[in-house]
Structure formats: C-alpha cells, structure tokens
Amino acid sequence: MGKVKMILVLLFFAVQFYGQQKKDNKAEIQNIINLYSKSVIERDSISFYSLFNDDDVTWCAAYKDRTQAKEVEAKGEKASNNNYFSGSYKKFLRGLFRYKETEDKFDSIKIIEDGTVASVTMNYSFWADHKMTNWGSKYLNLIKKEGKWKITSVIYSLELVKYFKPHVEKNSN
C-alpha cells in the first residue's frame, strides 16, 4: 500500500506542475499579445521586433470576399487579382509612422499551446488617428526558442471600414 500512495502523491504533483506550466505558457503568450499591442500604440520598434523570430517570419493578409468585390467594383479589373498581400513585421511597423496615432485592438483571444509551439486566434480592429480602418481575424503562430516565445507568422483577414462596419466594435485587451 505504501508504494501505491507514493505513486498517487507523485502523480498528483506531476499533474499540478503540468497544469501550472500550461498556465505560465498561456500567461507568457498573452504577454506577447499585450506587448504587440503596446508596441503598435507606442511605435516602439525595439519592443516590437523583439517579439518575432530572428529567422523568416510569414506576414500576409487577404481581403474577405465581400471587401474584395467592393475593391474590384471601385478600382476595376486591376484589383481582381489583388486580394492578397505579404510583407514583414518591420514594414508594418514602419508604415505606422504615416499616422499620428495607431492601435491594434484584440478580442476573443484563444491560445492553444503544447509548451513548444502555440497558435493564437483573435478578432482584431486596426485604428489610425482615432478611426477604425480595418478589422477581421488574426492568427499568430509562435515557437518557444531558447526559453522565450517568438512569433513566426502573422496571417489575417481584412474587411475595410470604408465598405463594411463591424457588427460589434472591437475592444482593447
């Protein structure tokens, strides 16, 4: 009986430790999202760049179908093959300087992780000079590299506010 009790006690502590690690990982990833948002507001390149993997990082977006249809309607056939674009996190941050103020707001954040890789899904709205310009869904993938979470990809959909208003205003995190 002593061995069974010992095994049960060890299992109990292992489950507690594993549960705490999961909470810690999710808290660290949530902190990455908070720093991402703060860096956009402050246009802090040092903080923003530190969130990303040193190697290649995927950065791409696509207009949702109804926004794409409005773009084709407004711009003609030249817009028909132009619903997708890619760039980089550095180019994104540099582009913020054309505005006086910017903010990327997130809600409905879901984090899935296994301690080594993570996927984050969220709704977002992008604001420039106190006006929402676009909104949609954003997906981040991360890896834990040398003990720190790093973003390896940012993929998002775009609805342009000039064509479609969101049903519910996105709130800041």
Q: pLDDT (tens digit, 9 = 90+) per residue, 100-157?
A: 999 999 999 999 999 999 999 999 999 999 999 999 999 999 999 999 999 999 999 9
pTM, two decimals, is: 0.81
User: For 53-60, what is the mean pLDDT?
Assistant: 94
Domain chopping of the chain, boundaries: 2-160
Burial class from Cβ neighbours inside 10 Å (0-12, 13-18, 19+) for residue 45 reads: middle
Buried b / exposed e over 128-145, threshold 16 CB at 10 Å, is beeebebbbebebbbebe
Q: What is the pLDDT of residue 6?
A: 65
For all residues of the chain together, what is the average pLDDT?
88
Q: Which CATH class is domain 2-160?
A: alpha beta
Residue 10 and residue 16: Cα distance in Å, rounded?
10
Residue 51 above 80 pLDDT?
Answer: yes
* Token pair in block for residue 122: 């969220």
Q: What is the pLDDT of residue 171?
A: 47
* Token pair in block for residue 157: 């959909």
Tell me which H or E stretch contains 109. Answer: strand 102-113
Residue 126 and residue 157: Cα distance in Å, rounded?
12
The residues facing 110 across adjacent strands are 121
Q: What is the pLDDT of residue 160?
A: 96
